[in-house]
């Protein structure tokens, strides 16, 4: 039953041409390619990945030499040479490499999160521009009618058919409509400037005349199960847990004995003594509580991961419910506007003297106010939908 209701509701929404989808997609592609902040993030990601792979290899070998003078002189001189290499337990190097790979995944996910944030900003600007363009069309029509009415009443005033009060009312209506139209133009220019800024300063000469089509998901739980993996914040929380577990294994491995092997030689009074040395570090105090600390951190991160997922699910459910509620309002507005467009009838009644100027302007303002609320509700619906769309790819 719920599926049928959704289909009925959404079938009442305006039909949207495919060109709008192309416009939005082209804008997002351009922003992704040209945005200077994203370019910085990509460069920084390369540096961070290189840094994560630093320091994961074995320690440097050590070479030590010494020259000692004998005293008294007959004792001769002594020359020492020591070469040594310290080795961690073999699993340390494997876990270090795995930790580095995990950190590099985090870098990619953080970069993807920044990318999605910026693309969402661009998507919202596209919605706002489309709203302002629709508003401009409405205001242009209102301005045309207001100008025609003002001109007609000015001519009637010049002929002495009406008094100055009626003429001034039409002029005030025209003035107010002109100012609304001018403000709309300022808003459009501001939004385009912001979009150009996101696009790295490159202009985007696209017409935002309509919204792209969107297939509203009928089952939230099913839809959420598909899109949750596209959220880099969720994947980052998951990666934090996986990385912490690897660091836990690394901490255990670092608490295993280290081995130092080397070569040493000693020359004194024409005799040479040489051989190999080996040493073992005994892990008694240095690594105390490191594993315990890492296990506690892993447990905390697992709770944080669950909380992040829950918060994301609840946020999306709110957006989903809001979009659904707005779709119902849009359907109601459209039904009312389809039967309540009496502009032609009002004009005829005014011309025949069956309707006063005040009543005409009042009735017209009610219609345009309703029309304005409709396109504003349509914008709010598209903004709510955009919160869902950003996770679908």
Res 39: pLDDT: 94
Average pLDDT score over the chain: 85
Q: How do residues 230-286 score in pLDDT, each as one tens digit?
A: 999 999 999 999 999 888 888 888 888 888 888 898 887 778 888 888 888 887 777
d(CA 212, CA 189): 21
* Entry pTM: 0.81
Structure confidence at residue 74 (pLDDT): 64
Percent share of the chain, pLDDT over 70 = 93
Domain definitions of the chain by residue range? 2-389
Q: For residues 106 and 110, what is the distance between their CA atoms, to the nearest angstrom?
A: 6
Q: At the topology level of CATH, where does 2-389 sit? A: Outer membrane efflux proteins (OEP) (1.20.1600)
Segments of the chain assigned E as strands: 62-68, 78-87, 258-268, 271-281
Helices (H) and strands (E) in the chain, counts: 10, 4
How far is the C-alpha of 155 from the C-alpha of 145, rounded, in Å? 16
User: Which ranges constitute the DSSP H helices of the chain?
Assistant: 2-11, 18-34, 36-52, 90-159, 164-198, 220-227, 232-254, 290-339, 343-351, 357-389
As a whole number, mean pLDDT of residues 82-97 equals 86
Three-class DSSP category at 134: helix
pLDDT 10s digits, 286-320 = 777 888 888 898 999 999 999 999 999 999 999 99
Does position 168 have pLDDT exceeding 70, yes or no? Answer: yes
Give the C-alpha separation, 125 to 195, whole Å: 7
C-beta separation of 202 from 196 below 8 A: yes
């Amino acid at each position: 039953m719920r599926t049928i209701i959704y289909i009925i509701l959404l079938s009442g929404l305006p039909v949207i041409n495919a060109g709008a989808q192309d416009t939005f997609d082209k804008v997002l592609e351009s922003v992704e390619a040209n945005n200077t902040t994203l370019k910085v993030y990509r460069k920084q990601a390369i540096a961070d990945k290189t840094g994560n792979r630093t320091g994961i290899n074995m320690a440097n070998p050590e070479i030590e030499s010494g020259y000692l003078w004998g005293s008294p002189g007959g004792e001769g001189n002594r020359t020492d040479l020591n070469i040594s290499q310290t080795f961690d337990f073999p699993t340390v190097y494997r876990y270090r490499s795995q930790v580095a790979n995990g950190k590099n995944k985090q870098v990619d996910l953080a970069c993807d999160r920044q990318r999605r944030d910026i693309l969402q900003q661009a998507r919202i600007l596209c919605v706002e521009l489309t709203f302002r363009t629709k508003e401009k069309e409405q205001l242009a029509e209102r301005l045309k009618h207001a100008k025609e009415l003002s001109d007609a009443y000015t001519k009637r005033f010049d002929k002495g058919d009406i008094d100055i009060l009626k003429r001034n009312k039409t002029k005030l209506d025209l003035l107010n409509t002109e100012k609304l139209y001018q403000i709309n133009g300022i808003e459009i220019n501001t939004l385009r400037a912001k979009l150009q800024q996101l696009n790295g300063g490159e202009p985007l000469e696209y017409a935002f005349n309509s919204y792209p089509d969107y297939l509203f998901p009928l089952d939230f739980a099913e839809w959420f199960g598909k899109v949750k993996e596209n959220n880099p914040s969720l994947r980052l929380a998951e990666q934090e847990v996986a990385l912490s577990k690897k660091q836990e294994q690394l901490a255990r491995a670092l608490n295993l004995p280290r081995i130092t092997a080397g070569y040493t030689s000693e020359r004194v009074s024409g005799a040479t003594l040489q051989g190999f040395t080996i040493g073992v570090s005994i892990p008694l105090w240095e690594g105390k509580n490191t594993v315990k600390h890492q296990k506690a951190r892993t447990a905390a991160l697992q709770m944080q991961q669950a909380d992040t997922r829950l918060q994301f699910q609840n946020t999306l459910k709110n957006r989903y419910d809001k979009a659904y509620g707005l779709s119902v309002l849009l359907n109601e507005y459209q039904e009312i506007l389809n039967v309540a467009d009496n502009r032609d009838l009002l004009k005829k009644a005014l011309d025949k003297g069956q309707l006063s100027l005040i009543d005409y302007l009042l009735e017209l303002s009610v219609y345009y106010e309703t029309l304005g609320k409709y396109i504003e509700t349509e914008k709010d619906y598209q903004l709510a939908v955009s919160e869902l769309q950003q996770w679908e790819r």
